[in-house]
A = this chain, B = another copy of it.
Amino acid sequence: MTQAKKKPKEKAAVKAKRKRTRLSPEVRRKQILEAALAEFSAMGFAATSISRIAGRVGISKANVYVHFSSKDQIFETLLQSLSSVGKSQGSWSRIQEARDVSEFIDNLIDVTYEALTPEALAIMRLLISEGHRIPDVLAKWHEANLQGRAERQAAIDEQVAAGRMKANPLTEHFEFAMTPVVYAAVAKLTFGDAAAEEVERIKDTHRKLLRQLL
């Protein structure tokens, strides 16, 4: 059980021995990071071997070390590169394009739940399970989140001031409005497909409640 899918021990006699291809560093690095994200998220840092990452990319272990100096460095680079991804960058502006509150809520719900992509979930799992490896990155991330949050709060405050939204505990602390999404994410992370229905109901109630409250 230690390794969910034990590959047969026999050496793969027939190797798909693809001719060595020489790629630009940037491309290779990206390939490696992608493979690393997939593996780290699925297996955890310690259980992921450079071998597997290399295998997924289709290069040799040694070649990984041409592009990164250590497993740790891969991990850090990965998480750093992800901080940007995480930020629902463009999303917020898209959400705000709404012309009335109703449309705003729809946008909000749709965009946010759509953001629960497998990749985003992978990042989230990584943060939860291996975050302790990268306190600095986490701290920055946290900081960035706080700032983004402040901006969003400001936008809401404006709406309230303009009388387009009601003043209530939710508009005063708008971040709270998004907490159910985290629940949905955790449900997916933990129970996988078995959580699909549940997530739908959450999303539904979420939308209804926002309509009632905003």
Contacts and interface: CB of A to CB of B under 8 A. Distances in A.
A114 to B, nearest CB: 18
Contacts of A176: 180, 201-202, 205-206, 209
Interface stretch (A95-103, A156-164, A182-190): A182-190
A180 B178 CA distance: 9
Chain A interface, DSSP helix/strand/loop, else mixed: helix
Interface stretch (A2-10, A14-22, A30-38, A50-58): A2-10
Q: In the complex this chain forms, how many copies of it are found?
A: 4
Contact of A205 (B4, B11, B169, B209): B169
A127 interface: yes
Nearest to A129: B129
Given A44-B45, A69-B9, A4 B132 contact: yes
Contacts of A28: none
B209 A169 contact: yes
A120 to B, nearest CB: 14
Interface string A117-128: 000000001011
